[in-house]
Structure 1
Amino acid sequence: MTSSASSTSKRVAIITGAADGIGRGIALRLAKDGLDLGLFDLPRSQQKLEQLAEEIKNEFGVRVVNVYGDVSKEEDVKRLVDTVVQELGSLWAMIANAGISINRVLHETPTEELDKVLNVNFKGTFFCYKYAAIQLIKQGKGGRILGASSIAAKKGLPEQTVYSGTKFAIRGMTQCAAMDYGKYGITVNSYAPGVIETPLMDYLDEYHTSQTGQPKGSWTKSFENACVLGRLGKPEDVAKLVSFLVSDDAAFITGQSYLVDGGICFD
């Protein structure tokens, strides 16, 4: 970020799904940028989140507040925003990062799996946007709202009907929210990762290789050839984009969904 450390140190970012993968990478990068952080994840991730918070405080000297809950529950997201603002004083950026993926052919998708993915990915992101917007409007100083989209929001993929549908929906919600909140100086964007080395990708690889009988890791590795850079992404690749989008340098960018995929898909 180009802003001085003294100005960024007073800014606060909330990151959901912060214990692992891309969320963890974003937390480390924004701490390096000097932002104080509200980290959010499920109660089962408490040990990982506590370790991350300690690492961040020791290395970067910023303030960190951990909150536990479920993004699909509106009261948990409201409590998240309220707690972080109470503890850290304000809010600058909401990073609605939490998400899940369940791969199934459309007609083989049980309704309970449909509901679970919709609840976490779409409703969870909606609640994060909603309560961040309420707080940012009340503060009257602008701010940033970011959501986790996906390469699957730019192009449908086999056996990802529900996941892809929720990520397309996040793109649409991001565009609408950008129009709603521009007058308040609030920008709304999303990041659309491709194949990133995360626990979620390990889960998807295990599913696909179990279906085909191929060796574990082969499904993920196959994307190296599909990517023009010839490698898989890392959480820090996504975190660099998020760092830019929450900075003052991105003040004139809103309503966009940016691919971070090493050149698999082109707009």
Structure 2
Amino acid sequence: MSKVAVVTGSAGGLGKGIAERLAHDGFKVIVQDINEKLLLETEAEFKDKGYSVASFVSDVSLKQAQEDLVDFTIETFGQLDVFVNNAGIDAVSPFLEIDEAQLERIFKVNVFGTVFGIQAAAKQFIKQQSKGKIINACSIAGHESYEMLSTYSASKHAVRSYTQSSAKELAQYGITVNSYYPGVAKTKMWDRIDEEMVKYNKNLQPGDAFKEYTSAIKLGRYQEPADVASLVSFLASEDSNYITGQSILTDGGLVYR
């Protein structure tokens, strides 16, 4: 029987690459996003490739929505084996300009969404009496806090902490919880970060911030979605059964800690 995976925030970017890789690996996949138009386009694209896929539009920051996502998965494919908390958003600003709105927006999606996703998936695994896998999206910003990205970095440090604590508590059920840590990829998120950096630093031209970050990558190129998807594929496979509570970097040689 084919296994079933959920990938949140998978209408585009790294999430789409992860969802497609898991579908290629033989998983039945639920793709989730808040962007309905883009999500339906991704679902249609995957179906054209012969993948077994269904889509679910929701807001991951809501506890009930994460529970509904799991319920939809069971109704559609009958089981759940892997839950990938990929959805996330960024914020760029000087530290002194961080306000309530920024904190609430970033933490609701990146932290609340991850916590509620872990909970919803774990409860289903326990109900199924199966050894499920939960895989969270972190970032190099979850290892090192970056200037102008304070709130984003803090949210990813929180994801790292929740990955470790939930892994310790859920191990008794045979559930593993791990995180993948992407570096600098040419995605819409990084396009936004680059654009915002220019607003705050008049010495920067469009593309300069991206070039600055990628220039430090030892393997000499920016990240592709397939680079991250390969790691998630491993974490979703039986080859990773003895790994839990870990934070694994996939950044081409950028952060060493």
Normalised-by-shorter TM-score class? over 0.9
- Which residue is 2:119 aligned to? 130
**Aligned ranges for residues 47-126 of structure 1 at < 5 Å?**
47-59=37-49, 61-126=50-115
Asked whether 1:33 is paired with 2:25, we answer yes
Q: Which amino acid aligns with 2:26?
A: G
Cα shift at 1:57? 2.0
Cα shift at 1:149? 0.6
**Aligned ranges for residues 115-264 of structure 1 at < 5 Å?**
115-213=104-202, 214-264=204-254
Asked whether 1:17 is paired with 2:9, we answer yes
In the alignment, the residues of structure 1 paired with residue 235 and residue 105 of structure 2 have an alpha-carbon distance, to the nearest angstrom, of 29
In the alignment, the residues of structure 2 paired with residue 119 and residue 224 of structure 1 have an alpha-carbon distance, to the nearest angstrom, of 29
Cα shift at 1:47? 2.3
In the alignment, the residues of structure 2 paired with residue 116 and residue 224 of structure 1 have an alpha-carbon distance, to the nearest angstrom, of 27
Q: Which amino acid aligns with 2:14?
A: I
* More displaced stretch, 208-217 vs 139-148: 208-217
In the alignment, the residues of structure 1 paired with residue 236 and residue 143 of structure 2 have an alpha-carbon distance, to the nearest angstrom, of 22
- Which residue is 1:4 aligned to? none
Please tell me the root mean square deviation across aligned C-alpha atoms, in Å.
Answer: 1.1
Kept in 1: contact 2:12–2:42 (CA 8 A): no
Number of residue equivalences: 256
Q: Which residues of structure 2 form unaligned runs of 5+?
A: none
In the alignment, the residues of structure 2 paired with residue 24 and residue 157 of structure 1 have an alpha-carbon distance, to the nearest angstrom, of 26
Q: Which residues of structure 1 form unaligned runs of 5+?
A: 1-6
Give the TM-score normalised by the residue count of structure 2: 0.97
Give the 4+ runs in structure 1 shifted more than 3 A. Answer: none
Give the TM-score normalised by the residue count of structure 1: 0.93
Cα shift at 1:106? 2.3
In the alignment, the residues of structure 2 paired with residue 141 and residue 74 of structure 1 have an alpha-carbon distance, to the nearest angstrom, of 22
In the alignment, the residues of structure 1 paired with residue 54 and residue 47 of structure 2 have an alpha-carbon distance, to the nearest angstrom, of 10
Q: Which amino acid aligns with 2:108?
A: N
